[in-house]
Structure 1
Amino acid sequence: MATPGISLVTDILVPFLFKLLGAVALWMVGGWLIGFALRLLRRMLNRGSLDPTLIGYLLNILGALLRVVLVVAILGFFGIQTASFAALLAGAGVAIGAAWSGMLGNFAAGVFLQIFRPINKGDYVDAGGVEGTVDEVGMFVTAITSPDNVRNYVGNAKLFGDNIKNYSANSYRRVELVAQLDNSADVAQAIALLQAGLLQVPNQVDGKPGDVAVLEFSERGPRLAVRPYTHTANYWQVYFDTNRMIVDVLGKAGFPVPRIPVAMQGSSTN
């Protein structure tokens, strides 16, 4: 007849030790399989166009989820009821999601920004209420430096949910300027002079001559649209050079300075 001590060892302790060794083996084998799968997935994703930061975040999240599943499986191996544990994890997930809804929204938008690539580093954009050059597309915020050299951080959810103007997406863009003429000015002569002057402005698009045409009429006289084409990198240089060209060309040709009609001046003083 077995003694109580030996019975305790053979009936309880030995099976527990075998289960413990099995759990350790499951953890080691499962951890190795998870690591192998993540390494394989990383190689596949690196062949695509996804950003390395996005790949790292996705793999970390996937690895954490797989390890949680592995822990639940090991607990089930020990005979522990995992239904309540799973419910606890689900409740925790809901609570965390509610508390971090804004951050999760920014993160989700960051993922879509990385996948669809509406903007890239170095692009000049108008997005999320900010205009400037993109410095970094992060997982939660995007850094944009405005023309006055101020760095702005825009939440990805706001940026992705708003209209995005990417001025760098195309090979060139149009510079929109206006030349105000006096009512007595010779419009045809002014157009010819400005078209010739545009040819002297550097860094315009080859084979794409600028436009000079009557845009509209005002109380002062005709307004001419002066529109050269250039790459975004040269936009402000072409903008300022064209403005200076308009002043120089019309001034040297003796065009009168546009004045408000006398009738308009009299009505403004009443």
Structure 2
Amino acid sequence: MAPRSHSALPGLVPYSRLPVSQEPALDLNSVETFVRVTLLAIGVKLLAAVAFWVIGRWLISRVIDLLSAAMNRNHLDPTLNKYMGSVIAVTLNIVLVIGILGYFGVQTTSFAALLAGAGLAIGAAWSGMLGNFAAGAFMLVLRPFKVGDFVTVGGVTGTVRELGLFGTTIITPDHVMTLVGNGKVFGDTIQNFSALPYRRVDRVAQLSGAIDPREAIQRLRDAIARIPNVQATPAPEVNLMDLNLLGPVISVRPYCSNEHYWQVWFDTNEAIVRTCREAGWPAPTPVTVTRIQQVPELAGQ
């Protein structure tokens, strides 16, 4: 029996007649168009980003210049001008970068949240430094004292050498450089001895009880008036201040300019001693009174 041909089977197509699957031909024109359009869009965005950066930087510099000019017209401290300009410039540059990233389609919400979290962490870690920074900024605006003033701040007395945003440098009378944090300076009592044109020197003279206070006051007033750099107006104040077991206490208070304070201080002490010596007044010494009382029943023995 002869083999049966496949073509004889109903519903079957001969193998030689099956269609051959063909791979789609690569469309070079479509690829070229896609690349050209994509590269063109990216190039336009890059050029726009560069333009935004250049124009934004120019606008930021103009804003900083206008701000500095305004602060200079108001005679604010140069240190404050410098640091305020730096802070504003950094802030505006961050805003500019975030805006450019948003133009490229980058999700800036997470980036802004990251910056906020970093700022919060840095603020918590540097709370003391930021407190000093804030106090320094307020002091540069309010100007409670300036370089060269003789002050007492944060429990330290001396001449102000430098005003910084984090600390104030003071040279004490014994020539020691001391740095006081601005937070402590601004949170404590500030005494500025150089704010007014003159100061009062406060001294006292302890006299013996045998001396007439009115004569002593007149002699001391004449001696103080002859001290160099003592102001005639207001006139020196010499008054009876107190009385104690040793005798009268005379207050001696001449006025002088700030730069002559210590010279008048020492000369006032010398004038008090010299006046007492020239007048021949005795030194104030405590008086001891001793009483001897006899017991009556022992007196007849």
Equivalence for 1:225: 251
Greater RCO (Cα-Cα under 8 Å, separation 6 or more): 1
Q: 1:163 aligns with which of 189, 194, 208?
A: 189
Amino acid at match of 1:30: G
Runs of 4+ in 1 over 6 A off after TM superposition: none
Equivalence for 2:66: 40
Equivalence for 2:107: 81
Equivalence for 1:132: 158
* C-alpha deviation, 1:251, in angstroms: 1.2
Structure-2 separation of matches of 1:224 and 1:232: 24
Structure 2 matches for 1:47-66, cutoff 5 A? Answer: 47-66=73-92
Q: 1:182 aligns with which of 208, 214, 230?
A: 208
SS of 1:262's equivalent in the other structure is coil
SS of 2:157's equivalent in the other structure is strand
Residues 1:172 and 2:198 are matched in the alignment: yes
Larger Rg: 2
Judge conservation of contact 2:220–2:275 (CA < 8 Å) in 1: yes
* C-alpha deviation, 1:11, in angstroms: 4.8
Moved more, 42-51 or 170-179: 42-51
Q: 1:26 aligns with which of 17, 27, 52?
A: 52
Residues 1:214 and 2:258 are matched in the alignment: no
Residues 1:234 and 2:268 are matched in the alignment: no
* C-alpha deviation, 1:8, in angstroms: 3.6
Amino acid at match of 2:278: K
* C-alpha deviation, 1:223, in angstroms: 0.6
Q: 1:114 aligns with which of 140, 145, 157?
A: 140
Structure-1 separation of matches of 2:49 and 2:289: 96
SS of 2:35's equivalent in the other structure is helix
* C-alpha deviation, 1:263, in angstroms: 5.1
* C-alpha deviation, 1:3, in angstroms: 4.2
Q: Which runs of 5+ in 1 are unaligned?
A: 265-270
Structure-2 separation of matches of 1:40 and 1:2: 56
Equivalence for 1:268: none
Q: 1:150 aligns with which of 163, 166, 176?
A: 176
Judge conservation of contact 2:225–2:232 (CA < 8 Å) in 1: no
Among the aligned pairs, what percent are the same residue? 48
* C-alpha deviation, 1:207, in angstroms: 2.1
Aligned length: 264
Q: How big is each residue's C-alpha offset from its partner over 1:162-210, in whole Å with a ceiling of 9 and x where there is no partner?
A: 1011011111111110000111111111111101111111101232211
Question: TM-score by structure 1 length?
Answer: 0.93
Q: Which runs of 5+ in 2 are unaligned?
A: 1-26, 291-301
Question: TM-score by structure 2 length?
Answer: 0.84
* C-alpha deviation, 1:50, in angstroms: 1.1
